[in-house]
């Protein structure tokens, strides 16, 4: 795939439409890292973006040292971060540490992240039709760089409405991806990317 050059972000960076989508075009399978043991594999994967789902205060520097050295944009799930609560101060800490973005189900911390020049990835669970409606309604108040839709196999159902009203928001499917064939199928159905903890898929294809 063609490498997409995207400038490093910093405080008060101006967000361009489709910027996050540009990162995902490099390779649309995002490594979702839960342990330091998998960090080396994520560092050499083609994707510019890496999700940290298992980081904490005692391990963040180790993750970032390996991943940033290979030019990765490290997106941290604040809701799962050990040692930090969902506060503005926590976002400030992650921004100062060198993270590129925040994942959360909470738009208040994502809005703070945006103010720090970080990518904002809103995680939403599509468990029924009401949750789909709620996901679209939340975009009226805050438009993230990406929606991570879980579980991934049902994510394409939201795409027609999302593309019609928010074409600049990247759509990422996460969870329950069985193999590379399913990942490819989801991307062919219109997702910008999928995230997976299966390291066997990170460099496949």
130-179: per-residue pLDDT in tens?
888 888 899 999 999 999 999 999 999 999 999 999 999 999 999 999 99
With 60 as the cut, is the pLDDT of residue 9 above it? no
Q: For residue 77, which of 195, 186, 169, 182 has the smallest C-alpha distance?
A: 195
Q: Is residue 1 part of a domain?
A: no
Mean pLDDT for the stretch of residues 97-122: 96
Mean pLDDT for the stretch of residues 3-30: 67
Name which residue leads in pLDDT, 163 or 13: 163
3-state secondary structure 2-36: CCCCCCCCCCCCCCCCCHHHHHHCCCCEEEEECCH
Q: Is residue 112 part of a domain?
A: yes
Spatial distance between the Cα atoms of 151 and 39, rounded to a whole number of angstroms: 23
Q: Is residue 10 part of a domain?
A: no
Q: Give the other-Cβ count within 10 Å of 21's Cβ.
A: 20
CB 55 within 8 A of CB 32: no
With 50 as the cut, is the pLDDT of residue 76 above it? yes
Spatial distance between the Cα atoms of 47 and 30, rounded to a whole number of angstroms: 6
Q: What is the domain-level CATH number for residue 34?
A: 3.20.20.70
With 70 as the cut, is the pLDDT of residue 97 above it? yes
DSSP letters spanning 135-169: HHHHTTT---SEEEEESGGGGGGGHHHHHHH-TTS
| Percent of the residues in the chain that have a pLDDT greater than 70, as a whole number | 91
pLDDT per residue as tens digits for the range 31-67: 999 999 999 999 999 999 999 999 999 999 999 999 9
CB 102 within 8 A of CB 119: yes
Residue spans of beta strands (DSSP E) within 63-192: 73-77, 101-104, 119-125, 146-150, 170-174
CA 175 to chain centre: 13
Mean pLDDT for the stretch of residues 119-140: 90
Count: domains in the chain: 1
Q: Is residue 3 part of a domain?
A: no
Residue 6: predicted pLDDT: 39
Q: Is residue 13 part of a domain?
A: no
Q: Is residue 49 part of a domain?
A: yes
Spatial distance between the Cα atoms of 169 and 12, rounded to a whole number of angstroms: 20
Q: Is residue 5 part of a domain?
A: no
Domain containing 107 equals 19-201
Q: Is residue 8 part of a domain?
A: no
Q: What is the pTM of this model?
A: 0.90
């Amino acid at each position: 795939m063609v490498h997409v050059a995207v400038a490093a972000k910093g405080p008060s960076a101006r967000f361009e439409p489709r910027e996050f989508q540009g990162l995902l075009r490099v390779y649309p399978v995002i490594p979702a890292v839960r342990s330091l043991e998998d960090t080396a594999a994520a560092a050499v994967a083609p994707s510019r973006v890496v999700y940290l789902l298992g980081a904490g205060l005692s391990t963040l520097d180790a993750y970032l040292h390996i991943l940033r050295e290979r030019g990765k944009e490290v997106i941290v799930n604040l809701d799962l971060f050990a040692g930090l609560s969902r506060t503005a101060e926590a976002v400030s800490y992650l921004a100062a540490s060198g993270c590129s973005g925040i994942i959360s189900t909470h738009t208040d911390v994502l809005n703070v992240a945006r103010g720090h020049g970080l990518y904002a990835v809103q995680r939403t669970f599509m468990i029924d039709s009401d949750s789909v409606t709620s996901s679209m309604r939340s975009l009226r108040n805050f438009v993230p760089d990406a929606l991570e839709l879980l579980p991934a196999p049902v994510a394409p159902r939201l795409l027609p409405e999302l593309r019609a009203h928010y074409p600049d928001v990247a759509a990422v499917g996460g969870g329950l991806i069985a193999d590379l064939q399913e990942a490819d199928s989801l991307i062919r159905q219109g997702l910008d990317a999928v995230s997976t903890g299966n390291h066997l898929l990170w460099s496949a294809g």
